[in-house]
Amino acid sequence: MGYGTLNGASAAVVSALSKYGLLEGQGDKLRVSEMGQDIVLHRKGYQEYGEALKAAALMPAFFRELRDQYPEGLPSEHALRATLIKRGFNPKAIDSAVRAFRDTAAFVDAEAGGRLAESVAEPPPIVGSQTASVEQQTESTTPRTSEDIPGQRAIALPLAVGEWATLHAAFPLTETAWNQMMTVLTAMKPALVAPLEQPDLLPAPLLRQWGEGPPAGGPSIFWGGGLKTSAYIDGFNLYYGCYKNVPGYRAFKWLDLRGLCEALLPNAQIHRVHYFTAMVAATPANPAAPIRQETFIRALRTTPQLYVHLGKLQPVIRKGTPLDVQPGGSTLPARFSTWEEKGSDVNLATRLLTDAMDEDFEQALVISNDSDLMEPIRVVKQKFNLPIVVVSPYPTLTLKLRRASSSWAVLDKSLLAACQLPQALVDKMGRAITKPAVW
């Protein structure tokens, strides 16, 4: 159940669940009882749910005694306390035990309908359990909703596309409370979770890329379900992964970035799209490259909630061994001039972390295969507890980014053709923008 030994927090939770008849068995043979399964598998309003809830509430012997002695409701605190002391109950345990019964009765009355006193069937004995004293019985109280308890709030947890769970608690939780909650969930898992047969929760475009299933180590689920999602796109990484050495897709560089993000996460709410790049320089082999890039950036800026962040392209001197050497030519290392993009990775990491701190998104999408982004991605997932999806423009994704992300995939390049900007657009100044004839 997530603990090395059955003691401390785990023992307290197991004891409480067993007293209410929700667990049966001992040690590593613990399992959710039939009554417990009726509670978690049926919804409020169903007969099985109500009957199981009432039966569980009366499993503690002390609760049954109070129900039998006071079928119409408990007397005043003073009168009840005096009666119980006369019957030999420990005075120190009476108040908490009675409070636990009142809380349980109120919860059952609200959930199951009618009064707890109307439940007349005797609950079945628990296999392997022993009769508990009043002191032991007060270890557990029935949970109530955040509306019932001041200081509590509800947190919606995304489970899958269109599916949510709601957690009611007084946040932040203590480490002990967290461990107890995880113990309860682990114990109830067999009744709550169906065996995973196939990754049918992945977006359809990504399933096309993977065929029958994700690559080894890939995600088994993509977060979505309407989460407000901001995208962070590494422009040069996208270019080199999809276009530079992939001739078949060069015709699709007039890319609709927001459309691409919506295709990758069709069930998410795409909030903002951040595109990080640098302005290229003209070369003798490609003198019109800056003009085409500027036209593309102008076209992107007509897209709502899309922001272009520019780094710098700097000339650098490299050393390398010539590849095409003429007969008699030198094969010694040579110096050559090239260009290196600077600033985009830092800009992307800064924007990602700033938006996480500002709570500007509920989920992040990063399109890149740059392992330098591992740390900011890890921080978003672990420090801010936000889901972050990484999609690689290359045929694979680095191991560092796989481990840092919540889920990942490689880009299905068929989406490039499907996600193209209109041939002609108009910017905010009313100026026409046309896709370059040759690109």
pLDDT digits 0-9 by tens, 360-386: 999 999 999 999 999 999 999 999 999
Q: What is the DSSP letter of 244?
A: I
Q: What residues have CB less than 8 Å from 215, skipping those under 6 apart?
A: 396, 410
Q: Considering just the CA atoms, what is the radius of gyration of the chain in Å?
A: 31
Here the tokens at position 316 are 């650098």
Apex 233 CA angle, 229 and 238, nearest 5? 140
Q: What are 153-200's pLDDT values in tens digits?
A: 777 666 654 466 777 777 788 888 787 777 777 767 766 766 544 333
The pTM (predicted TM-score) of the whole model is 0.50
Q: How far apart are CA 165 and CA 159, in angstroms?
A: 7
How far, in Å, CA of 54 to CA of 121, rounded? 9
Across the strands, what pairs with 342? 312
- What tens-digit pLDDT sequence spans the chain (439 residues)? 444 444 444 565 666 677 777 777 766 667 777 877 777 776 677 777 778 878 877 887 777 777 777 777 777 777 777 777 777 777 767 777 777 777 777 777 777 766 665 443 444 443 333 333 333 433 444 444 444 456 677 776 666 544 667 777 777 888 887 877 777 777 677 667 665 443 333 343 343 333 333 333 333 334 445 799 999 999 999 999 998 877 778 889 999 999 999 999 988 999 999 999 999 888 788 888 889 999 999 999 999 999 999 988 776 666 766 666 667 666 666 665 566 777 788 999 999 999 999 999 999 999 999 999 999 999 999 999 999 999 999 999 999 999 999 999 999 988 999 999 999 999 989 999 999 987 6
Q: Are 427 and 301 in contact (CB under 8 A)?
A: yes
Query: Which pLDDT score is estimated for 344?
Result: 87
- Provide the 10 A C-beta neighbour count for residue 342: 14
Helix (H, G, I), strand (E, B) or coil at 392: strand
- What does each C-alpha distance from 434 to 243, 289, 348 come to in angstroms? 20, 15, 28
Beta-carbon contacts of 302 under 8 Å, excluding residues fewer than 6 positions away, are: 425, 426, 427, 428, 433
Domains of the chain are 8-139 (no CATH), 204-434 (3.40.50.1010)
The answer to whether the beta carbons of residues 133 and 97 sit under 8 Å apart is no
Taking a C-beta distance cutoff of 8 angstroms, is the pair 98, 82 a contact? no
